[in-house]
Amino acid sequence: MKICNRLIALTVATAAVMTAPAAYAVGEKGEKSVGITAGYNTRNESAVAGLFFQYRINRLLRVAPDVTYIFRHNDVDGLAINGNIHMPLPIVTDRVNFYPLAGINYTSWSLHTDNLKPTIVDGDDVTNRVSKLGFNIGAGIDIYATSSLKLFIEGKYTAVKKYSTGAITLGIGYSF
């Protein structure tokens, strides 16, 4: 799993460096998008679902906070809060953007300890929580199906000491 995460990080970093010189991006200052995401997380090998908001600061930069729930698998689930910056760059047509991303991450992992159930009093939580700050690096592709409907796919590596993970998500959003 560590090799897979490192390979994702290396691929994303290479793509980000190779596309950085492009100077023109599709979109207007002030463009906003909201929507939902779904995908896969490598840390506990489970599904994820989330909500995102994007605001274009100028033609080359947009802020993109999101909240993602990592579904329980192997007695681990989590909640990730991300604050990323995207650099949308046009590819193919004016309706498709490639974007490298970088940002910060806060993740709270819940480690469920089912072996403690016999001693539980009603209402007790049987989890141990581990909360960590980290850094995101990744890339994605936006496809504007219409002027207000945006689809995207995104790969992201989150670097956190002892809790690094990779995620691949698909999203659909409303742009206004």
In angstroms, the CA 8 to CA 2 distance is: 10
pLDDT reported for residue 17: 46
Q: What is the pTM of this model?
A: 0.77
All domains of the chain in start order, with CATH: 2-175 (2.40.160.20)
Express each pLDDT in 5-33 by its tens digit: 665 665 555 555 444 444 344 568 899 99
Query: Kind and range of the H or E element at 9?
Result: helix 2-19
Alpha carbon distances (Å) from 150 to 47, 48, 51, 54 = 22, 19, 14, 11
Distance CA 165, CA 170 (A): 17
Q: At 56, list the tokens.
A: 């274009």
Q: What pLDDT score was predicted for residue 113?
A: 73
Question: d(Cα 51, Cα 38) in Å, to the nearest integer?
Answer: 9
Residue 129 banded pLDDT, cuts 50, 70, 90: confident
Q: Sorting pLDDT into bands at 50, 70 and 90, what band is 98? A: very high
